[in-house]
Each structure stands twice: as C-alpha cells, then as structure tokens.
Copies of this chain bind each other. A is one copy, B any other.
Amino acid sequence: MNAAVNPGGLDALFRPRSIAVIGASDDPRKIGGRPIRYMLEAQSQVKVYPVNPTRPQVQGLTAYPTATAIPERVDQAIIAVPARQAEAAVADACAAGVRSIVMFSAGFAEAGEEGAAAQARMMKMIRDAGARLLGPNAMGSFNTAERIFSTFSTAMDRGTPAVGRVGMVSQSGAVGSYLQNLVISRGMAISKFVATGNEADVQAAECLEWMALDPDTDVLMLYMEGCRNGPALIRALRMARQMRKPVIVFKAGRTEAGQSVAASHTGALAGSVQVFDTVLREAGAWSCQTLTEMVDVAYACAQGRLPPDKTLAIVTVSGGVGVMSTDAAMEAGIELPPVSEATLAEIQKELPLAVGLNPVDTTAQTVGDRAMLTRAVERVLRDRPFGSAMLFFANAGRNARDMEILSEPLRALRAEFPLTQLALCVQTTPEYRKQLEDLGYLIFEDPVFCVKALAAAAELSAVRRRPLMLPELAKIALLTLAHSPDEAQSKEILARAGLRFARESVAATPDEAVAAAEAMGYPVVIKVLSAEIGHKSEVGGVALNLTNEDAVRAAFARVTDNAGRAVPEAEIRGVTVGQMITGGIQTIIGGHRDPTFGPIVMFGLGGIYTEVLKDTVLRTAPVTHETALEMIRSIRTFAILDGARGQERADLDAIADAIVSVSQFIATQGPEVESVEINPFIALSKGGCGVDALIHVRG
C-alpha cells in the first residue's frame, strides 16, 4: 500500500504494528481483556503490550505499569479504563509517542457537559501529539487480513472473523457488531471494520474514504445516525464510486422521534433526511431502511460480480412467485425482457404446461426430475443476454437427490454465462447452501428480497459505469451585504446571476407608480417594498390586477398603509409596480445552505403543492442543465407541467435554466447567504419568469 492511499493517516488506526492496551484485563470477557484475547486467538503478528500497574502478566503476556514503560515506541494505544482515569491514560499514550488511540472508555460528550469538557481536553493532548483518536465511546476497529483486533465487540465470541472483502463503517458500536454477525452468518467475510463512537476526531466519512482506497476491500457498508462533516462524506462516496466499489448505507433517524433519540445518544445532529437521501442518491450509494436489506444488497455485491445491466430473467417452478417477483421487479425498476416464443416452444417440448416469456413458469412438472429445470434455464439464458437471473427452485435445495441432480447442470450454467449474476431462490440447508454458493450462485429465501437485491446491485453497477459529471462553478460576484436585501434588490442581484423576472419598476410615490404603470401598460400588480417584510400578502401588502390610474393610486396608499400598520418598525421604500402575469404554472425554485452538506437547490410546484404535498426535489448545488431537467421530471406532480388536463406543456428548458442559475448563485456565495427563493417562478409554454424573489442574508 503506497502513501497515496492513506487518507487522513488512518493507516495508524487500521494497520498498527504494535499496540499498548491501557487498562488491560486478565479477564478475557472484560472490555480491557477482549482485544488481547482476540489477538492471541487470532495469532496476530502485531505486538500487544498489556498496560496494567497491578499485575506483572496479563493473559500470559508481560504487562507494563505505563505505556511509556514499554521498551519500544508503540503505534497504537487502546484505552479501556473508566472515564475518570482516561485523561491520565491519554497523557501516558501521548508521552509514549503513539500515532493512534482507540478509546473504548465511555462517559464523555455523550454523557453531558462535564464529559464533553473532558473529551475536549483529551483531544487537545492528542492533537498536540500529532496522533489520531478513534472514539471515545468507540467499539474499536479491526483488520482481518493482518489479524488486528482493536475492539471489544462481543461478535468475536463466535471466533475472530475470517479474511474477507467487505468493509464496514458504523457510528454505533452495537449496530456495527450486530451487523458484523449478520454479515458473517450470511457467509460473507469482512476486510476492515470500524465503529467510530463519539467521533471526537476520526469520523465515519474518512474511514469510508480510506476503505474506498483499500485494495483489500470491494464492498462498503456504512451505518450512520448523523454526519459531522458533509463534504468529507460526499468526497468519500465519490471516491468509492470512482473506485467502482458499491456503498450500502443505512441512515437511522428518519422520523422526528428517531432523530431526537439519536441526538440524545450521540450528541450529533441527525440533519435533514431529504438532504441526506439526496446526497446518497447523487453519489450513487444504496440507501437501506433495514439491516436485512443492507445485508441482502451487500451479499448481492460481494461475490465479485456485479450485473452488467438492468435486465432480469425469472425462471420459476411457481406461477405465484412469478407474479410477486414481477411486482417487485416493476417496483424496483429492473426490466424483464421477454424471451422469444421459439424459446418457450423449445421449453414446452419437455414441459408442455410451461407458460410465460419472462417470468417463465415451468409449473410443478419438474417435481419428478429437477434436471428439466436447469434445461429450461439454459434455454432462457441462451435466448438473449441478461444482467441477472433469478431461479426460483422452491424446496429443491433441501434434499441430497435434488442436489445430486442439480449440481453439474448448475456448474455448467455458471461457466456458460460468466457475466450474468445468477441467484437461486430456494429453501435449503446450511450445508447445501454453501455448496450452491461455491458453484457461484447467490442464495435467497424470499423472492421479493431477491429481486430487490439484484435490482440494487444492478443500479450500483450502472452508477459505477457512468462517469461523475460535476458542473463548474459560474463566475458570480460575491455579495457583501450586512442584511437581507429587499425584493427589488434581490431581483436585481439574481438577474445578474442569469434569472429572468417579470417587468417591474420601483416607485417611491403614487405619481411614480402611475408613471411606471402607464409605461408598462395595464393591468399591473403593486407590492409594498421593504427589506423587513418577507411575506407581503400576509400583511395586505399586495394588490393584483390594477387596470387604471385611480386603482394604482388607491393601491399605493392601501399596501403601504397596511404594511406600516402590520410591521411598524419596517422601513418602507415604496412599492414595486409589476407586469401582471396571467396563465402559466406556479413553481418554486430555491436554494439554501445545509448546515452539514452546504449549498442545496430545490424545485417544486408552487402554492398548495409545496405546502400540503411537500412535493419538492433537492440536489446539491450547482447542477447542470441536464440534472435540472431530471429534477423537474422527478416531482410527483410533473404531469401538471407536462400538459395534464389539456393545458399547454410548460417550457421545461426555461425552468431548468432558472434552476441552474439559482444553484450557481447559492453555490458561489459565502456562508452568510443562507437562502434564496423565487416563489413563484411562473412556467409558461414559452419561457418563464420569476415574480417574487427573496435572498436571506444572516444579519
């Protein structure tokens, strides 16, 4: 491994050559005893030095009273002492010159203010010493290839894990350890594991990036509750994509109640679920809602083969399973291209009741001789190339006779179609399962889960073949404002960034308003103009459809008067006189700065659609014109823009141009520009224009 693939210097965490265990216990069940026991059991080549001032030996190894007393300079210190002794242990480890500390000790930032202060003091020592800290309150890390087990995870009670190619990053130790066991029970094996706990220093995102570059890791699993560094996570996900490694993510804390539990136990902000989902989708990660789904998708990716495309063949002994699998395929977005009638006719020569072009249902006719099944599969796969195939063989993997009949034909199929991902959906025994996996087949029990996992693997594979296209930042002047501009100023600024607005003039007096209206032509709209008044219609500050001079004068008086009474402290510059736009469809285009992930652009239909249906779509900003079009097409109410109910189609390119401009604007501004909103942006059949705009600057 060369220096370039050691981001954040995390080699010190994952690949130490020597480890001091401060708080080493002779009891192999205690958390200070477990890492020593694991490394002894694993016959690790790493040097392990127990540190325990009260015993000369720990689990048969020479113990030292302090880390500094160890005769060599050690790479890593594991700290497994009670919280009140942790600071002294850190001082000892730093004095001993370690490059990384893995801290099991808990009772710090997660336990209140006092703990947070202690954590900050330790962190300062560690930073001054130039080391990295995993934790505190961390379950630790391990590296199976080098037999390094800096962890107290009880998942090792079933033996230290075998060497594999799945990398696992979890913010929660207990979830990580549970997931580790699920993964191992599913017949997979792990390359590197880390549970990051309080993340005082080392965070999940940088571990993910390190593993994305780790030549021993092919598939990445990530469990998160909150992200402390959004850009680092985006970088890690992009790196994984570039290295063509699938990333499977479970982000917990999707509901308000779930987020509040997360906040109480980790202290991290859970952040906006919609933004998190957007970031994951953009980076081509697979987002899961259950541990089972996570394990299923990892399993479908971890056998060294990803489906070359999004087509699926289903051959089934059960018509019913064909039905539910077809439902699942449609819902998961994987295609079921039909085989030819000629192929079905061939199959029917042997199985006269066989039916369907995909799924192909062999019916119960093969109960007597399962070899007829594999011949049907062979005919299907020879018909046309498929990215994946699901073979529902029901209970056929349960008895020795079926296995005897099926093994050789399954081996031949695997050899003949080396690129196709082949999955068997069967109930089988652990022993036969292993045999079938060794033949190169994925094994699932639930046909719907099988289809979903194959679809996920196909999507992850497709994303990894597409190059990542990131738009360049436009050249837009940086705003330097002490407070939010008013509507007219906001429009001026956004017009310079490329946005179009309805014609509009500022009028300080009724006479100026009339002059503006006559220059522009009636009807006009008058809106009060004040930087302090954001929601003008709520204060009676808007008058629509004014058709003559008298109406304009009356409206001027009314809107300024209403606004002055509603917000007495507002400084009122006058009004805007604007062209009255009729027809078109109201949309909303916005941008904001997410506290975790930075600039985000938003699009949706306006008015009631935004408020009641929450039918909006987000992307990290800036976006390309193509991405903007994709955003527009992805809202649930897209049909309204696309000519539903005989209306004219909206000019999608004009909307997309406006989305791109807003995205560039929010992306190019400094952090004091918190948000921008064009509401409504009226989409017309040709062109479109903003009618109201607001830029919010932190005052």
Partner of A359, one of B261, B364, B607: B261
Q: Is A111 in the interface zone, CB < 8 Å from B?
A: yes
B178 touches A395 (CB 8 A): yes
Chain B, residue nearest A327 (CB): B258
**Does residue A225 face the partner (Cβ distance < 8 Å to B)?**
yes
Digit string of A425-452 for contact with B (CB within 8 Å is 1, else 0)?
Answer: 0010000000000000000011111000
Residue of B nearest to A292 (CB): B446
Q: Are A261 and B356 in contact (CB under 8 A)?
A: yes
A55-63, A169-177, A505-513, A514-522 - the one binding chain B: A169-177
**Which 6 A-B residue pairs are closest in the complex by CB-CB distance?**
A174-B318, A172-B320, A265-B319, A175-B320, A258-B327, A255-B330
How many angstroms between the C-alpha atoms of A356 and B322 in the bound complex?
Answer: 46
* Residues 444-483 (chain A) with a chain B CB within 8 angstroms: 445-449
Contacts of A107 in B (CB 8 A): 352-353
**A157 contacts across to B, CB distance below 8 A:** 395, 398-399
Give min CB distance, A366 to chain B, whole Å.
Answer: 11
Of the A-B pairs whose beta carbons lie under 8 Å apart in the complex, a sample of 13, sorted by A's number, is A30-B368, A31-B364, A106-B364, A173-B318, A252-B327, A253-B327, A254-B327, A258-B324, A258-B327, A259-B323, A264-B356, A291-B446, A292-B448
8 Å CB contact of A398 from B106, B158, B359, B399: B158
**Given A178-B318, A178-B427: A611 and B644 within 8 A (CB)?**
yes
Interface string of A536-554 (1 = CB under 8 A from B): 0010000000000000000
Contact pick for A174, options B253, B257, B262, B364, CB 8 Å: B364
Q: Is A76 at the interface (CB under 8 A from chain B)?
A: no
In the bound complex, how far is the Cα of B678 from the Cα of A381, in angstroms? Answer: 53
> A151 CB to closest chain B CB, in angstroms?
11
Contact of A395 among B177, B254, B259, B607 (CB under 8 A): B177
Shortest C-beta distance, A365 to chain B (Å), equals 8
Contact with B along A354-381 (1 / 0, CB 8 A): 0110010101110110000000000000
Q: Using CB atoms and an 8 Å cutoff, list the residues of chain A in contact with chain B.
A: 29-31, 106-107, 110-111, 139, 152, 154-155, 157-158, 170-175, 177-178, 181-182, 185, 223, 225, 250, 252-259, 261-262, 264-266, 289-292, 316-324, 326-327, 329-331, 336, 352-353, 355-356, 359, 361, 363-365, 367-368, 394-395, 398-399, 427, 445-449, 538, 607-608, 611-613, 636-637, 639-640, 644-646
Contact call A395/B363, Cβ cutoff below 8 A: no
Interface centre among A252, A319, A395 (most CB of B within 10 A): A319
Contacts of A329 in B (CB 8 A): 257
Question: Is B611 a contact of A318 with CB atoms below 8 Å?
Answer: no
Expressed in whole angstroms, the minimum distance between the Cβ of A486 and any Cβ of chain B is 24
Residues of chain B within 8 A (CB-CB) of A110 are 353, 355
Bound form: Cα–Cα A608–B646 in Å: 11
B644 touches A265 (CB 8 A): no
Minimum C-beta distance from A613 to chain B (A) = 7
Write the chain B residue with the least CB distance to A29.
B368
Enumerate chain B residues within 8 angstroms of A182, measured Cβ to Cβ: 427, 445
Our pick among B252, B265, B321 for the contact of A355 (Cβ within 8 Å) is B265
The contact of A154 among B254, B265, B367, B645, by CB within 8 Å, is B367
Query: In the complex, what residue of chain B is closest to A27 when comparing beta carbons?
Result: B368
Q: Are B612 and A336 in contact (CB under 8 A)?
A: no
**Contact between B261 and A322 (Cβ–Cβ < 8 Å)?**
yes
Q: Which residues from B are CB-within-8-Å of A261?
A: 319, 322-323, 326, 356, 359
Chain B residues within 8 Å of A252, by CB: 320, 323-324, 327
A250 touches B291 (CB 8 A): no
Query: Could you tell me the distance in whole angstroms from the C-beta of A474 to the nearest C-beta in chain B?
Result: 34
Tell me whether A449 and B174 are in contact in the complex, defined as CB-CB below 8 angstroms, given that A252-B323, A320-B225 are known contacts.
no
Measured between C-beta atoms, what is the minimum distance from A134 to chain B in Å?
Answer: 15
Residue of B nearest to A225 (CB): B323
Contacts of A640 in B (CB 8 A): 608, 612
- Identify which of A250, A316, A324, A639 gathers the most chain B CB atoms within 10 Å of its CB: A324
Q: How many Å lie between the Cα of A497 and that of B417 in the bound state?
A: 67
